[in-house]
């Protein structure tokens, strides 16, 4: 069973930076998983923030382009989200997601694409 554990959340002032980490365990083939970061506001659906496919293709949600960077450790067992120029509207619970299915109808930034989820880490940006 794949397990995802996020860390790195916290409180930061507007304009600041924060880096989230997601450690992947429970699989011997982590390189075959598409990985992503999502965020969720209270009472809202989870929205895709950034994704990285097995071929290295990266996508970002429109609201974070140019500010957030997704990356992986060389062994693919840790996923990162470097967030800069943070704004109060970035305040949300951030989740790591993973899935190894290849032929699937959903875009990599759609939550339905993913089977495995972490427990989330809270990011709060104060003005």
Three-state SS at 31:
helix
* Average pLDDT of the segment spanning 51-70: 97
Task: Give per-residue pLDDT as tens, 14-27.
Answer: 999 999 999 999 98
Q: Is the dihedral of CA 76, 117, 110, 105 positive or negative?
A: positive
Give the HSE-up count for residue 107: Cα atoms under 13 Å, Cβ half-sphere.
10
CA dihedral 55, 69, 110, 24 (to 10 degrees): 70
Look at 88 and 102; give whichever has higher pLDDT.
88
Give the HSE-up count for residue 54: Cα atoms under 13 Å, Cβ half-sphere.
12
Quick one: pLDDT at residue 27? 84
Is residue 103 scored above 80 in pLDDT? no
């Amino acid at each position: 069973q794949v397990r995802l554990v996020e860390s790195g959340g916290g409180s930061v002032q507007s304009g600041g930076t924060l880096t989230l980490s997601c450690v992947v365990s429970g699989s011997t083939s982590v390189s075959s998983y598409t990985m992503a970061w999502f965020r969720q506001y209270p009472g809202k659906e989870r929205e895709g923030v950034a994704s990285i496919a097995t071929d290295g293709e990266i996508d970002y949600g429109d609201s974070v382009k140019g500010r957030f960077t997704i990356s992986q450790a060389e062994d693919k067992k840790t996923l990162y989200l470097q967030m800069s120029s943070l704004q109060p509207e970035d305040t949300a619970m951030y989740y790591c997601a993973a899935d190894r299915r290849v032929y699937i109808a959903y875009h990599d930034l759609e939550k339905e694409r993913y089977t495995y989820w972490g427990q989330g880490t809270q990011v709060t940006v104060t003005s």
